[in-house]
């Protein structure tokens, strides 16, 4: 009896002795697990809270027609947008908020700043007929989006949608991808030398891709950039509307 009474406080002392390396180890392991679970819950919450998909691109690429097709399954006669269109797209269990951002140079930055924080992905729409003529502007705008700090920190998904494939003059998405990579490479060199001349190179995070390597979209990971083709117009009944690739991508990121 006496022996037990003397030993129990000693064992208890040992158990609550935080300086005991074993106990310290267990306490640290529990804390690490709890912090990880906490961070995971916050990350999941933030991710699911961001359910916007921005339709972006130069003016006349077909954003509003694609928006109208996707959400209302309608052909509309469009004109240059001056404000955004926004609506819910049902992806089965969840829905996404599709936002059609005006492509006009003076408006797009303002709307992008307004919506980028709530975005999960960006569909960058290209007019595949005028692509070669506008390649510089197409690449420049895309570069601006990809080098945005919010895009990088939220790891937004990108779909580059080569639209107007119903037209015979339209370039296919493989050609567009390869020409765009070449143009982004040139643009990157120009931007880097401009920054160096103003002494901002060290502080600015605008170098996209891998140093010492030609620009490739795959080098932007964890920002994932996919390419697909689409056609939003069915003025010619022989050529149907093709938005399946876009719809599959939306379900994939939802
Ligand atoms: N042939 C063809 N024409 C298309 C397609 N998608 C859009 N268009 C036409 O392209 C023109 C421009 O389409 P919009 O949807 O207004 O373009 P947008 O990108 O919203 O232009 P902004 O509002 O200026 O940003 C319209 O005449 C559309 O009918 C397509 O897949 N094929």
> Which residue's CA is minimally distant from atom 12 of ligand 1?
60
**Model ipTM value:** 0.98
Q: What is the DSSP string of 69-103?
A: HHHH---------SS-EEEEEE-SSSEEEEEE---
Judge if the beta carbon of residue 128 lies within 6 A of ligand 1.
Answer: no
Q: What is the DSSP string of 113-133?
A: HHHGGGEEEEEEEEETTTHHH
| Token output for 64 | 């509003």
Alpha-carbon distances, residue 65 vs 62, 75, 115 (angstroms):
5, 7, 20
Atom of ligand 1 nearest to the CA of 232: 31
CATH superfamily of 51-253: P-loop containing nucleotide triphosphate hydrolases (3.40.50.300)
Q: Which pLDDT value is given to residue 41?
A: 82
Measure 15 CA to ligand 1 centroid, in angstroms. 72
Residue 205 pLDDT > 70: no
Q: Which pLDDT value is given to residue 42?
A: 80
Distance between CA atoms of residues 33 and 2, nearest Å: 41
Q: Which pLDDT value is given to residue 238?
A: 59
For the chain, where are the alpha helices, taking DSSP H only? 2-16, 21-49, 63-72, 105-115, 131-146, 149-153, 173-198, 244-253
Pick the range with the lowest mean pLDDT from 44-48, 68-72, 79-83, 122-126: 44-48
Q: Who has greater pLDDT, 138 or 43?
A: 138
Confidence of residue 21 (pLDDT cuts 50, 70, 90): confident
Per residue in 136-189, pLDDT tens?
999 999 999 999 999 999 999 999 999 999 999 999 999 999 999 999 999 999
Rounded to the nearest angstrom, the gap between the alpha carbon of residue 60 and the centroid of all alpha carbons in its chain is: 22
168 is in an annotated binding site: no
47 is in an annotated binding site: no
Judge if the beta carbon of residue 103 lies within 6 A of ligand 1.
Answer: yes
Measure 163 CA to ligand 1 centroid, in angstroms. 9
Residue 209 pLDDT > 70: yes
Residue 89 pLDDT > 80: yes
228 is in an annotated binding site: no
Q: Which pLDDT value is given to residue 1?
A: 45
Distance between CA atoms of residues 29 and 24, nearest Å: 9
Q: Which pLDDT value is given to residue 226?
A: 98
Confidence of residue 77 (pLDDT cuts 50, 70, 90): confident
Measure 16 CA to ligand 1 centroid, in angstroms. 71
Q: Which pLDDT value is given to residue 108?
A: 95
Indicate yes or no: pTM above 0.95.
no
Per residue in 112-122, pLDDT tens?
999 999 999 99
């Amino acid at each position: 009896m006496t022996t037990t009474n003397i030993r129990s406080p000693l064992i208890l002392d040992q158990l609550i002795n935080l300086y005991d390396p074993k106990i310290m180890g267990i306490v640290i392991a529990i804390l690490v697990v709890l912090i990880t679970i906490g961070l995971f819950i916050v990350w999941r919450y933030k991710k699911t809270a961001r359910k916007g998909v921005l339709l972006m691109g130069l003016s006349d690429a077909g954003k509003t027609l694609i928006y109208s097709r996707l959400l209302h399954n309608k052909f509309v006669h469009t004109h240059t947008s001056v404000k955004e269109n926004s609506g819910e797209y049902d992806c089965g269990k969840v829905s996404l908020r599709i936002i059609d951002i005006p492509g006009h140079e003076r408006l797009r930055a303002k709307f992008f700043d307004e919506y980028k924080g709530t975005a999960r992905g960006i569909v960058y729409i290209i007019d595949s007929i005028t692509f070669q003529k506008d390649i510089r502007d197409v690449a420049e705008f895309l570069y601006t989006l990809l080098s945005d700090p919010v895009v990088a920190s939220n790891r937004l998904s990108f779909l580059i949608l080569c639209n107007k494939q119903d037209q015979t003059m339209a370039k296919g998405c493989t050609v567009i991808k390869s020409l765009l990579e070449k143009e982004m490479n040139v643009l990157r060199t120009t931007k880097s030398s401009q920054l160096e001349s103003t002494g901002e190179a060290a502080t600015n995070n605008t170098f996209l891709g891998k140093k010492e390597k030609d620009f490739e979209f795959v080098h932007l990971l964890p920002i994932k950039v996919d390419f697909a083709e689409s056609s939003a117009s069915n003025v010619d009944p022989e050529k149907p509307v093709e938005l399946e690739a876009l719809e599959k991508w939306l379900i994939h990121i939802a």
